Amino acid sequence: MNRRNKPNSNSNGKRILHGCTGLLLLLMTGMVSSSCRSRHLAAGRPPTSSDNAGLKDVYRSYFPIGVAVNAHNIQGEEGKLMLKEFNSITPENDMKMGPIHPRQHWYNWKNADRIVAFAGAYKIKVRGHNLCWHEQTPNWMFKDSDGNEVSRDTLFQRLKSHIYTVVGRYKDAVYCWDVVNEAVADDPSELLRDSKWLKICGPAFIDSAFWYAHQADPKAALFYNDYNAVRPEKRKRIIKLLKGLLDRGVPITGVGIQAHWSINEPSQQELTEAIEAYAALGLKVQFTELDVSVFPWEKNRRSLKPSDKVVYKGELEDRQRAAYKMFFQVFRKYKKDITGVTFWNLSDKDTWLDNYPVPGRKNYPLLFDTSLQRKAVYYDVTRF
């Protein structure tokens, strides 16, 4: 059960994390041998999946390979699979503002601490996700004690306090943060999303979030993260935002391309043009939330239709395999610009796309099946 308390200091947070590490090592016996097997690779040539290597080993000379997890994923067979295949993890939900800071004077550290301790025990990189977003923000952030909308100064102070506390707690444990998430509007006629952050603070909330994160941990890499960032129209608006940040001297390291893609998009040309355009700004590129849906991209929630029931074989599987193969060919080509590729969830057993945007629609977007076994598509990205 979580305890109601004031935010822990940075030093207290580190003691908690170090204490958790020993417990995790005891609880997870049997996993070390799984992760260590991948170290015994054939010398003198790039590893492939046939060497009993994982994704992280195949791509060790390219970029880290990550996965988004929740606390329940870091144990049992899922935990073993993570250690075998990945060398970077992103908490899918447990560091978002709502889950980690549900009430003004109380932080829920439990799950985030477990994930960070797990990563520390096995020397896995951690991406922090995320510090400022229009969704999953608790209502108290925008309200005063009487239920009225807070002032601009109050909201800036609350954002600063939140970022200082969270980033400070995980300083030296989290190497980079998605600082601002999805601030660019879906409406092509607008630059910024019509959110409460924008309404109350104005555009300056973006600059401020990056400065607060930098002040809390000057060594951390700081990313702007968004979806549809490869599509030419939205890409232009994201680049406009990023150029503004750079011109004002805001401490931004890179751009996170969410990569919630499908068997229909993006094209190779769109992908290469996007990487080149972002890299030309002097920013690093990470593909932060990779999955490849077997359905066309949708955003608005709707009910399940009979046509949404598909079988993962034949043309659907072939098209997904071809898409993944092309994406990773491009990633490898631009390895000097790309500092990470992260899959959004571990396997088809437990993917957010089974419930979004169509609840109950089974998707098959990842490299591991519902039994945690490698799919044929796995080999399309590891044998080259």
Among the listed residues 190, 289, 315, 317, the single catalytic one is 289
Q: Which residues contact 125 (CB under 8 A, 6 or more apart)?
A: 64, 66, 87, 88, 89, 119, 175
Q: Does the annotation mark 289 as catalytic?
A: yes
Q: Which residues have a Cβ under 8 Å from the Cβ of 122 and sit 6 or more positions away?
A: 31, 32, 35, 83
369: Cβ contacts below 8 Å, ≥ 6 apart: 347, 348, 349, 375
Helices 204-216 and 152-169: crossing angle in degrees, nearest 10, is 30
Nearest C-alpha neighbor of 256 from the set 365, 362, 341: 341
Q: Which of 109, 92, 91 is nearest to 100 (CA)?
A: 109
Is the omega angle on the peptide bond into residue 357 within 30 degrees of 0, that is, cis? yes
Catalytic residue selected from 78, 85, 92, 182 = 182
How many other CB atoms are there within 10 angstroms of residue 152's CB atom? 14
Q: What's the number of CA atoms in the CB half-sphere (13 Å) around residue 220?
A: 31
Q: Which alpha helices (DSSP H) does 219-267 contain, by range?
A: 232-247
Active site residue 135: no
Chain centroid to CA 320: how far? Answer: 21
3-state helix, strand, coil in the chain (%, to 5): 40, 15, 40
Please name the residues in contact with 24: beta carbons below 8 A apart, sequence gap of 6 or more: 74, 114, 117, 118, 121
Q: Phi and psi (nearest 5°) for 55?
A: -55, -40
Helix (H) or strand (E) holding 339: strand 338-343
Whole-angstrom distance, CA of residue 261 vs CA of residue 330:
15
- The angle subtended at Cα 255 by Cα 253 and Cα 261, nearest 5°, is 160
Contacts of 304 (CB under 8 A, 6+ apart): 358, 359, 360, 361
Q: Which amino acids are annotated catalytic?
A: 182, 289
